[in-house]
Amino acid sequence: RDRGCSGGGQRRGGVAKSKSRRKKGAAAVSVEPHRHEGVFIYRGAEDALVTLNMVPGLSVYGERRVTVTENGVKLEYRTWNPFRSKLAAAILGGVDQIHIKPKSKVLYLGAASGTTVSHVSDIIGPDGLVYAVEFSHRAGRDLVNVAKKRTNIIPVLEDARHPLKYRMLIGMVDVIFADVAQPDQSRIVALNAHTFLRNGGHFLISIKANCIDSTASAEAVFASEVKKLQQENLKPQEQLTLEPYERDHAVVVGVYRPLPKSK
Ligand SMILES: C[S@@+](CC[C@H](N)C(=O)[O-])C[C@H]1O[C@@H](n2cnc3c(N)ncnc32)[C@H](O)[C@@H]1O
Protein backbone atom coordinates (compact mmCIF):
# COMPACT_ATOMS: atom_id res chain seq x y z
CA ARG A 1 0.00 0.00 0.00
CA ASP A 2 1.36 3.34 -0.98
CA ARG A 3 1.03 5.92 1.77
CA GLY A 4 2.06 8.90 -0.28
CA CYS A 5 4.92 11.27 0.28
CA SER A 6 5.33 13.71 3.13
CA GLY A 7 2.56 16.20 3.48
CA GLY A 8 -0.03 13.52 4.10
CA GLY A 9 -0.62 11.44 7.19
CA GLN A 10 1.87 8.79 8.10
CA ARG A 11 -0.48 6.62 10.08
CA ARG A 12 -1.28 3.16 8.93
CA GLY A 13 -3.30 0.22 10.04
CA GLY A 14 -0.49 -1.29 12.00
CA VAL A 15 -0.22 -4.47 13.95
CA ALA A 16 -3.31 -5.99 15.41
CA LYS A 17 -3.01 -5.79 19.17
CA SER A 18 -2.77 -9.27 20.55
CA LYS A 19 -5.87 -9.92 22.59
CA SER A 20 -4.82 -13.11 24.26
CA ARG A 21 -1.80 -13.04 26.47
CA ARG A 22 0.55 -15.97 26.27
CA LYS A 23 -0.14 -18.29 29.18
CA LYS A 24 2.73 -18.33 31.63
CA GLY A 25 4.87 -21.39 31.13
CA ALA A 26 2.97 -22.33 27.96
CA ALA A 27 6.03 -22.23 25.74
CA ALA A 28 9.73 -21.77 26.27
CA VAL A 29 10.57 -18.23 25.27
CA SER A 30 13.89 -16.50 25.21
CA VAL A 31 15.56 -13.37 23.94
CA GLU A 32 18.95 -13.30 22.31
CA PRO A 33 21.12 -10.40 21.20
CA HIS A 34 21.01 -9.47 17.53
CA ARG A 35 24.24 -8.80 15.64
CA HIS A 36 23.42 -5.09 16.02
CA GLU A 37 24.15 -4.04 19.59
CA GLY A 38 20.99 -2.98 21.44
CA VAL A 39 18.69 -4.98 19.15
CA PHE A 40 17.35 -8.40 20.19
CA ILE A 41 15.49 -11.38 18.77
CA TYR A 42 12.59 -12.84 20.68
CA ARG A 43 12.22 -16.58 20.27
CA GLY A 44 8.69 -17.66 21.04
CA ALA A 45 5.75 -19.12 19.19
CA GLU A 46 6.68 -16.54 16.54
CA ASP A 47 10.11 -14.97 16.39
CA ALA A 48 10.20 -11.18 16.50
CA LEU A 49 12.65 -8.33 16.43
CA VAL A 50 12.53 -6.55 19.81
CA THR A 51 14.22 -3.80 21.80
CA LEU A 52 14.61 -3.58 25.57
CA ASN A 53 11.83 -1.33 26.84
CA MET A 54 13.30 1.77 28.47
CA VAL A 55 9.93 2.40 30.12
CA PRO A 56 8.70 -1.00 31.30
CA GLY A 57 4.94 -1.32 31.47
CA LEU A 58 4.27 1.07 28.59
CA SER A 59 3.76 0.54 24.88
CA VAL A 60 4.25 3.49 22.52
CA TYR A 61 2.03 2.63 19.55
CA GLY A 62 0.13 -0.46 20.63
CA GLU A 63 3.07 -2.82 20.03
CA ARG A 64 3.19 -6.06 21.97
CA ARG A 65 5.44 -6.28 25.02
CA VAL A 66 7.07 -9.51 26.11
CA THR A 67 8.73 -10.28 29.41
CA VAL A 68 11.47 -12.82 29.91
CA THR A 69 13.32 -13.72 33.07
CA GLU A 70 17.08 -13.82 32.76
CA ASN A 71 19.14 -14.90 35.77
CA GLY A 72 16.19 -14.16 38.02
CA VAL A 73 15.72 -10.67 36.55
CA LYS A 74 12.57 -9.78 34.63
CA LEU A 75 13.22 -7.86 31.44
CA GLU A 76 10.56 -6.34 29.22
CA TYR A 77 11.02 -6.02 25.47
CA ARG A 78 8.88 -4.30 22.81
CA THR A 79 8.23 -5.98 19.49
CA TRP A 80 9.42 -4.00 16.48
CA ASN A 81 7.30 -4.34 13.38
CA PRO A 82 9.20 -4.08 10.05
CA PHE A 83 5.97 -3.07 8.27
CA ARG A 84 5.83 0.04 10.45
CA SER A 85 9.50 0.94 10.67
CA LYS A 86 12.01 1.19 7.85
CA LEU A 87 14.87 0.76 10.26
CA ALA A 88 13.40 -2.55 11.41
CA ALA A 89 12.83 -3.51 7.75
CA ALA A 90 16.49 -2.73 6.98
CA ILE A 91 17.67 -4.81 9.94
CA LEU A 92 15.55 -7.80 8.92
CA GLY A 93 16.71 -7.24 5.34
CA GLY A 94 20.26 -7.83 6.56
CA VAL A 95 21.77 -4.32 6.58
CA ASP A 96 25.43 -4.65 7.49
CA GLN A 97 25.71 -1.62 9.82
CA ILE A 98 23.17 0.61 11.53
CA HIS A 99 25.75 2.63 13.49
CA ILE A 100 23.04 3.33 16.11
CA LYS A 101 24.11 1.62 19.32
CA PRO A 102 24.11 2.15 23.09
CA LYS A 103 25.27 5.72 23.96
CA SER A 104 24.95 7.00 20.35
CA LYS A 105 23.90 10.59 19.66
CA VAL A 106 21.41 10.47 16.81
CA LEU A 107 19.70 13.16 14.75
CA TYR A 108 16.46 11.71 13.41
CA LEU A 109 14.81 13.68 10.58
CA GLY A 110 11.14 12.90 9.97
CA ALA A 111 10.30 11.52 13.40
CA ALA A 112 6.50 11.44 12.84
CA SER A 113 4.70 10.24 16.00
CA GLY A 114 7.84 8.59 17.31
CA THR A 115 7.26 4.96 16.33
CA THR A 116 10.80 4.23 15.14
CA VAL A 117 12.28 6.95 17.35
CA SER A 118 11.03 5.02 20.39
CA HIS A 119 13.00 1.95 19.33
CA VAL A 120 16.07 4.11 18.66
CA SER A 121 15.54 5.43 22.21
CA ASP A 122 15.59 1.84 23.53
CA ILE A 123 18.73 0.99 21.54
CA ILE A 124 20.81 3.99 22.60
CA GLY A 125 19.64 3.71 26.23
CA PRO A 126 19.88 6.29 29.01
CA ASP A 127 23.38 7.42 28.01
CA GLY A 128 22.41 8.16 24.40
CA LEU A 129 20.37 10.98 22.91
CA VAL A 130 18.06 11.16 19.93
CA TYR A 131 17.09 14.57 18.57
CA ALA A 132 13.79 13.94 16.79
CA VAL A 133 12.87 16.54 14.15
CA GLU A 134 9.29 16.72 12.91
CA PHE A 135 7.37 19.62 11.37
CA SER A 136 3.82 18.27 11.40
CA HIS A 137 2.01 19.63 14.47
CA ARG A 138 -0.26 16.66 14.75
CA ALA A 139 2.53 14.09 14.69
CA GLY A 140 4.63 16.44 16.83
CA ARG A 141 2.06 16.32 19.63
CA ASP A 142 2.34 12.54 19.85
CA LEU A 143 6.11 12.78 19.62
CA VAL A 144 6.25 15.21 22.56
CA ASN A 145 4.14 12.80 24.61
CA VAL A 146 6.52 9.94 23.81
CA ALA A 147 9.46 12.16 24.80
CA LYS A 148 7.87 13.01 28.16
CA LYS A 149 8.36 9.40 29.22
CA ARG A 150 11.70 8.90 27.51
CA THR A 151 14.35 11.29 28.70
CA ASN A 152 16.77 10.45 25.88
CA ILE A 153 14.41 11.85 23.19
CA ILE A 154 14.61 15.60 22.49
CA PRO A 155 11.67 16.55 20.25
CA VAL A 156 12.43 19.35 17.79
CA LEU A 157 9.28 20.67 16.13
CA GLU A 158 10.87 22.41 13.18
CA ASP A 159 11.35 22.13 9.44
CA ALA A 160 14.43 19.99 8.74
CA ARG A 161 15.17 22.26 5.76
CA HIS A 162 16.28 24.97 8.19
CA PRO A 163 18.80 23.46 10.59
CA LEU A 164 19.97 26.89 11.71
CA LYS A 165 16.57 27.39 13.37
CA TYR A 166 17.28 24.57 15.80
CA ARG A 167 21.05 24.65 16.05
CA MET A 168 20.87 25.96 19.63
CA LEU A 169 19.03 22.78 20.67
CA ILE A 170 21.33 20.21 19.16
CA GLY A 171 24.90 19.15 19.77
CA MET A 172 27.16 17.27 17.37
CA VAL A 173 25.86 13.82 16.56
CA ASP A 174 27.33 10.44 15.59
CA VAL A 175 24.53 9.42 13.24
CA ILE A 176 21.83 11.03 11.11
CA PHE A 177 18.79 8.94 10.26
CA ALA A 178 16.47 10.48 7.65
CA ASP A 179 12.98 9.42 6.66
CA VAL A 180 11.31 12.65 5.52
CA ALA A 181 9.95 11.30 2.22
CA GLN A 182 10.61 14.58 0.41
CA PRO A 183 11.90 15.14 -3.13
CA ASP A 184 14.80 17.22 -1.75
CA GLN A 185 15.68 14.76 1.00
CA SER A 186 19.35 14.46 -0.01
CA ARG A 187 19.74 18.22 0.25
CA ILE A 188 17.99 18.20 3.65
CA VAL A 189 20.34 15.51 4.91
CA ALA A 190 23.38 17.36 3.58
CA LEU A 191 22.36 20.64 5.28
CA ASN A 192 21.95 18.83 8.58
CA ALA A 193 25.16 16.83 8.17
CA HIS A 194 27.19 19.99 7.52
CA THR A 195 25.70 21.52 10.68
CA PHE A 196 25.58 18.62 13.15
CA LEU A 197 27.33 15.44 11.97
CA ARG A 198 30.84 14.83 13.23
CA ASN A 199 33.53 13.95 10.72
CA GLY A 200 33.58 10.19 10.34
CA GLY A 201 29.96 10.04 11.54
CA HIS A 202 27.38 8.00 9.66
CA PHE A 203 24.07 8.49 7.93
CA LEU A 204 21.14 6.22 7.09
CA ILE A 205 18.58 7.45 4.60
CA SER A 206 15.36 5.83 3.57
CA ILE A 207 14.59 6.75 -0.04
CA LYS A 208 11.10 6.37 -1.38
CA ALA A 209 11.57 6.39 -5.14
CA ASN A 210 8.21 7.82 -6.18
CA CYS A 211 8.49 10.73 -3.73
CA ILE A 212 11.52 11.89 -5.65
CA ASP A 213 10.56 11.12 -9.24
CA SER A 214 7.49 9.10 -10.07
CA THR A 215 8.40 8.91 -13.77
CA ALA A 216 11.83 7.27 -13.43
CA SER A 217 12.55 3.68 -12.42
CA ALA A 218 13.25 3.12 -8.73
CA GLU A 219 16.81 2.02 -9.53
CA ALA A 220 17.47 5.22 -11.50
CA VAL A 221 16.16 7.34 -8.63
CA PHE A 222 18.35 5.53 -6.08
CA ALA A 223 21.41 5.98 -8.32
CA SER A 224 20.78 9.70 -8.78
CA GLU A 225 20.27 10.20 -5.01
CA VAL A 226 23.53 8.39 -4.30
CA LYS A 227 25.27 10.78 -6.69
CA LYS A 228 23.79 13.81 -4.90
CA LEU A 229 24.99 12.47 -1.56
CA GLN A 230 28.52 11.91 -2.88
CA GLN A 231 28.68 15.52 -4.02
CA GLU A 232 28.00 16.58 -0.42
CA ASN A 233 30.77 14.52 1.15
CA LEU A 234 28.29 11.86 2.22
CA LYS A 235 29.89 8.63 1.01
CA PRO A 236 27.45 5.77 0.54
CA GLN A 237 28.84 2.42 1.66
CA GLU A 238 25.78 0.21 1.47
CA GLN A 239 22.40 0.18 -0.22
CA LEU A 240 19.52 -2.24 0.17
CA THR A 241 15.88 -2.31 -0.84
CA LEU A 242 13.20 -2.84 1.78
CA GLU A 243 11.26 -5.62 0.11
CA PRO A 244 9.10 -7.40 1.21
CA TYR A 245 8.18 -4.74 3.79
CA GLU A 246 8.09 -1.67 1.55
CA ARG A 247 7.94 -1.37 -2.22
CA ASP A 248 10.40 0.81 -4.17
CA HIS A 249 12.19 1.95 -1.05
CA ALA A 250 15.91 1.76 -0.46
CA VAL A 251 18.02 2.47 2.56
CA VAL A 252 21.44 3.96 1.92
CA VAL A 253 24.03 3.83 4.69
CA GLY A 254 27.31 5.69 4.56
CA VAL A 255 29.97 7.81 6.18
CA TYR A 256 30.42 11.58 6.34
CA ARG A 257 33.87 13.04 5.68
CA PRO A 258 35.61 9.76 6.47
CA LEU A 259 38.55 10.16 8.83
CA PRO A 260 41.96 9.10 7.52
CA LYS A 261 42.52 5.42 8.23
CA SER A 262 44.50 4.92 11.44
CA LYS A 263 47.52 2.66 10.99
C1 LIG B 1 7.55 8.56 6.33
S2 LIG B 1 7.17 9.59 7.68
C3 LIG B 1 8.32 9.11 8.94
C4 LIG B 1 7.99 7.84 9.69
C5 LIG B 1 8.93 7.62 10.87
N6 LIG B 1 10.30 7.72 10.42
C7 LIG B 1 8.74 6.30 11.56
O8 LIG B 1 9.37 5.30 11.19
O9 LIG B 1 7.97 6.24 12.52
C10 LIG B 1 7.84 11.13 7.18
C11 LIG B 1 7.72 12.22 8.22
O12 LIG B 1 8.59 13.28 7.87
C13 LIG B 1 7.97 14.50 8.20
N14 LIG B 1 8.62 15.54 7.40
C15 LIG B 1 8.58 15.68 6.06
N16 LIG B 1 9.27 16.76 5.66
C17 LIG B 1 9.79 17.31 6.80
C18 LIG B 1 10.60 18.45 7.04
N19 LIG B 1 11.04 19.22 6.04
N20 LIG B 1 10.94 18.73 8.31
C21 LIG B 1 10.50 17.95 9.34
N22 LIG B 1 9.73 16.85 9.16
C23 LIG B 1 9.38 16.53 7.91
C24 LIG B 1 6.51 14.26 7.87
O25 LIG B 1 5.67 15.18 8.53
C26 LIG B 1 6.32 12.81 8.32
O27 LIG B 1 5.87 12.76 9.65
Protein residue with least CA distance to atom 16, ligand 1: 180
Number of Cβ atoms within 10 Å of the Cβ of 70: 9
Q: Residues with Cβ within 6 A of ligand 1?
A: 6, 10, 85-86, 110, 112, 115-116, 133-136, 139, 159-161, 179-182
The Cα–Cα gap between 148 and 171 comes to 20
Distance of CA 146 from the midpoint of ligand 1 (Å): 16
The Cα–Cα gap between 143 and 202 comes to 24
The Cα–Cα gap between 59 and 156 comes to 22
**48, exposed or middle or buried, with CB in 10 Å at 0-12, 13-18, 19+?**
buried
pLDDT attached to residue 19:
41
Distance of CA 25 from the midpoint of ligand 1 (Å): 41
Task: Enter the pTM of the model.
Answer: 0.91
Which of 180, 184, 192 most suits a substitution to test ligand 1, by most atoms within 8 Å of the C-beta?
A: 180
User: Which atom number of ligand 1 is nearest to the Cα of residue 84?
Assistant: 8
Helix 185-196 vs helix 218-231: crossing angle, to nearest 10: 30
User: Which atom number of ligand 1 is nearest to the Cα of residue 112?
Assistant: 27
Distance of CA 263 from the midpoint of ligand 1 (Å): 40
Which amino acid is present at 79? T
Taking 70 as the pLDDT cut, the residues of the chain under it are 1-3, 7-27, 262-263
Q: Are 208 and 179 in contact (CB under 8 A)?
A: no
The Cα–Cα gap between 139 and 141 comes to 5
Give the end-to-end CA distance of the chain in Å, rounded to a whole number: 49
Distance of CA 74 from the midpoint of ligand 1 (Å): 35
Distance of CA 65 from the midpoint of ligand 1 (Å): 25
The Cα–Cα gap between 243 and 175 comes to 24
pLDDT attached to residue 10:
39
pLDDT attached to residue 16:
36
Nearest to 130 by CA among 168, 86, 170, 162: 170
Classify the C-alpha dihedral 148-149-151-157 as positive or negative. negative
Which of 12, 135, 164 most suits a substitution to test ligand 1, by most atoms within 8 Å of the C-beta?
A: 135
Region class of 150: left (phi > 0), else alpha (psi between -120 and 50), else beta:
beta
pLDDT attached to residue 26:
54
